Structure 1
């Protein structure tokens, strides 16, 4: 049923003006997807631009609009070429009208047209405003988790019920047309309350009473609702206790059939047509056509859509007018019409009075209709009626004058009508001017006092006789200028609303305006903030300490809020909450905890923006205690905790950090009981405190504190939370460093800028995006990250097991008998069976489905335990050397199964040589690499997830662990030897133990000393500068070469050779002397060593000490 309608011969009217059009009747409704035009065949006649209009009945036309604005199509530039347009939004109509706007100035209007599309099939049903259609479900009561309702409608009135469904518990869903806008009222209520707090009322659309089709889609799933009218969608969350609607078995369209239901709603039924009504995929109109039992009717319903016979007209500009003849000399003047506009001012009607030189003016002033009568020599007198009539709705006006009495009635409301008696006898004139005055009319009052009317009119009657607008359009009756007949061209410029930050949108016929009062913003669309983004910015303006509004996200969606700016020294932003007093707590336990919530002077989103904008934030949390603990060591459960902005439970306290799980005294080593990391955990019958500042920005501010251990005798606690304090401004220009990096795809007002050409002529900017790291990033080894600097780069070794400027210095340690290094991933909390969800919240982030483990070792002892990772759920990983020296990996990822055992036994690895091992697991796939050349693949059968990992142990396992027999044998003496560059995912335990022992969650037991394991690369300790400059250097870099250009003259070469020779001789002498001294010292110390160490351990230590001495003289230099 698709077609191409061709107007082959071409069309060229006798007169070329803006009132010509070409109309096409497709015979029935069709979906038009594209149009194409040509000029007149073999002529100089073509159209250069035109409008496209459509209609179902050949009346009440509507302009095709794109992107919410009227769109004029660009036409032809000659008579023969074809200009084709595929419509962004298809048109569903029977009639098309092409209205030329411009044409060839050396010719006339000429068009040949092609229209592309398919016939459009639909089911329609008509309502007369006194009827409704009821769809009955099979069961009496339905609890619906999901509803999808779609339909199209065309209305004759601005108000009416489209659909309604209600339940016995107050649940209901109602779609109602109110003043040309669609209101969706949905309520997930209960049987106890019917307050407005459980309702959501969303309004979409505007000017929907234009007697054209509009589409509606309602999608409800649980509490989520999508409401779409035409192309505008609103997503929202419906309020209520339940995720479903408890609804009756009926769904009504067109009205509410049972009196008394939802009495607060409008009682006006729908007058118009529905098309293609679907409820959860069921065609309601199809069921009604086939008279199915689920469908019943109230009143008269027809399966066709009657078109209105009203012909509106549009006054496009202040120069527009319509002149209609009257009956001159009659003693009565009676004129009625309807209008709609956005303008507050405008002339509606004017006329001269018969037998006098006076006249009357009917006009809009400040949204009211007023009428003034004037006569030379007498003051003007008048009356007014109505208010707010510039709201875009249709309003009716009746003006009647008989003898010396005038009547003005607006919207048929007698209560707001106006009457007046005058001394002037009024007789009907011969001409009435609607909307404005012709230029030739010598009516000074009409021309000077008021601007012309811009808007729409319809149903004009003079002397109780309706005006035939078809005759006007055909120039048979009356006269007009700059009008559009048979269409109302009003559009809502506030839909969508371009006013930001709650600005109120108002409009006139040609433009819209934003009222930004009390929004905190300014500009045409309330976009620009009137407040600064931080206290730092206020200080730069010269302001002193005081209360200020700040807008942390500038023009973003968050509004401003009030803070106190302390500018005495450093600039501090102080954000208060509702409880800064010291509060004492008694009689709180786990069953009845003391919980306090803190409400700030800003929302959490505003606080987050302020914190992100600041360089540093902190909040003092003071916890005073007497026999009130923070942690119960007996069962491992926290007894007090706090919750921050991320809504996560935090168990670290002031002066500490999230990864340490200690109090300030535990960090400083000053707790009153050295066995505990917090003063309060000592559980003493005296007042003490754990007080300090929380400074981890991602967790601030504190929103809740929970205390549970104050119900024992003499047990008491007290807390005080200070205000949120922030300082520094990461966005202030005076503190911000210049941009270092690359920019691409820069657009200005939608136009792409050629950055590469501009970079070629701009100092300090280069085309492309090389960066230092793109050229030299390969110098950062072993997982080190290259970081750009202004004049070079540096290697960030934070997540590497190595150190040094290039992350190449191995971090190694010697382990003696029974020594152990324990890295704790998290504290242990035990949970009861019915608190598994609480447990998961603590441990969920430490469940692994993949691991990457690398390390190197050197030993002569077997069996040995190289590495062990434990779990709270009795799962583990152990890497051991068996008695024959082969490497063995044992995974137990299911506490109910035996471990998976994988053995690499190509040769003994307890040979005193340094061996490198890499283990990589992804779910059940295990890859093992030994000494960078032996690679093996294994498959795990015990599971894919390593749940709730607890700690990583190097050396001997000191705690009781449920491990297999082979692991126990290897653990009998732990590990004796040297471990190097140990890394588990992003954690480097040796690095933490040797370089960050005070802040890392690590425990060291036994004899543990730093050693080099005899590696060939020495320490980079002599390097004091880790930012590497590349001035005057190009090409690939060899680390063995200096990075700055050297002088290449002959004298420099000769001097350099002599210096190198002398330096080598001195180094050889120094090394020989040093080795000799070390050997003699070691031979003395060996006799004083521990008698418990056997000969194998002593031999290994002797060998390692010798190699350490040699490696200490191997330095990595960088010039």
Structure 2
């Protein structure tokens, strides 16, 4: 029978008595046979006590004295097992397990990582995600990093210059409230997707927070203004009651209409306080962030006949992260900031951003009697993390392949715990050092924490920002305001983050960050990556004036004097045109740029769906015309066009295909003179215009989507959609903003060398449009017809050859004598006189053919 902890684990019962005979020797803890396995794999590790054999207690004292049995590597009369999970060094709910020698932490599902689950897997805020190049989405954030607050999910809205963090609640919109009175109020509780402590971490670090609240009423009073006791109030952070409503502020018992003096009844400060039988509403934003979020609302006037109310409390929105941009500039080698002693006995993490042009400098240092901790830029390519917990100095180094004194932001994170030390640079370079199995583990520091120079060390010159130590952000800016040699904030963010401003967007420096100026681009959004497009109906056009209107006296001058009288910016030797379009209708004019003389540029879609570029510049008798692609582009898919002209060189890129170059003829000018107006979709012009464009392509106009339209530094379509007061742009017809240009191209890409419609060279000039396949003819039919014609021609030639071969010996023969040979002096004379082009033919074809 086997018994474990007093419970019968297994038993074998039989009616026949069983006799078990054992030898005279018992082995406890292992029997070391001659095997290849190590003793640790074959023997028991742990403690035994109260060992009984044949119901007699084993005398371990006699074993120890050598009077009974033998032992090896055993501590008798004591138990030396160490519980390495007590105390538990696994943080944030990590699960501790151990072997005989070591413990380990499982961090699965905690949101943290590292040897002791100390380091958060997530960024501290939506602002941090934005500057990693992320876009609007739901993210996990951890505002205090390795601190006690766990990570939680928020929605990050990055469509504006400001990055908004949104935390939602569970109160349905227009929640009906009835049966409440001043004595028995109905209390509506709001639960959020994060705890109040987590939300407080957002609001404390934010620049601005707001929450929209709406009370819709019928015969239901709200705040009982002007002098009565409020029927309804709301409770915010700290469980305080508040008697002001959205659109108002603390201490003012009013709604937004009372602040703006436009309430339905001027005697009251809220619309609902008028107590009318019609549905009324009081709504607005609560913006005092120390009171947010709304945790409950108590409603107290819906018990009278006909009295009804509906309540809506929107999500909490906050923007800004003051800890992320909290920075200080160290201007002299002796500059430093000091803070209270860093308390990190068994676990410490430090993270910050720095930028400098100096080759070395101490970032921070904290000292004890013998213990210390230090982070330092040791050389232009090396960052060092050194410390001593009583076992001797330890130094970790990470080497960068590029210099770190490049005046760009670099991120440093260091962690030290009882298991290991880690140093990481730019989330790319990393070194790990295991802690010794035995020895001291507690870091004991006594001095102040110095950021910058300390104790004669080489001081740091440059900027440090977002300095966090064990999840707490040190307020560098506030301390820098009262410290000589150190300035709050740091300029030059664009040197590191300017690359995120795309499509020609300009990086603009801010006190605590940067923004992308997209005003001179055809894009929008925080990084100038959002397409701005519009849907054109038949007859819709956009007109952008490139040249200011001039007086009639000036316009009566001849062209040459007129050109000299205007700004030279209107005479272009270079233009860059980019746009995207999608349509299923042809023909049409996509883009047309006119001038005050006969110069123009046009991009048109022909009847067969192919794209054509037309240039008419001074010196040409007829427009320079290029068919950019023979494919049908009116297939409902978005296509991008990029056209660049530099004097006579024209470079065109269509979709994903390589750029193709064309050259204007030598007779043409290099200047596009007196550019006047840019048209999109259709042309409505009073000046000189190519009649071919009007006759073939202008009616009924472009129907489809245009987006990303840019001409040099002008975005005409974006201006037409966004600038209501712009005098330079106008449109006719219905123009509806659309993101159709952002739709993915569903036609599979094709490389230029496998594209049967790819043109290797430029077009000849003048290009005869009629030489191309006529409009309306099916391209596949043309190919098939050509193949059939070649086959038939080959068969006929073969038949002619056979017939000539069969009849060449039938008794008749031909001579190649020319007519009139009998009147000529010789055969040569006869041939020359009969064939006037004979000499030219010989020069062109030197070969003789015999049949």
Q: State the TM-score bracket (shorter-chain normalisation).
A: 0.3 to 0.5
Higher strand share: 1
Q: TM-score, normalised by structure 1?
A: 0.30
The TM-score normalised by the length of structure 2 is 0.39
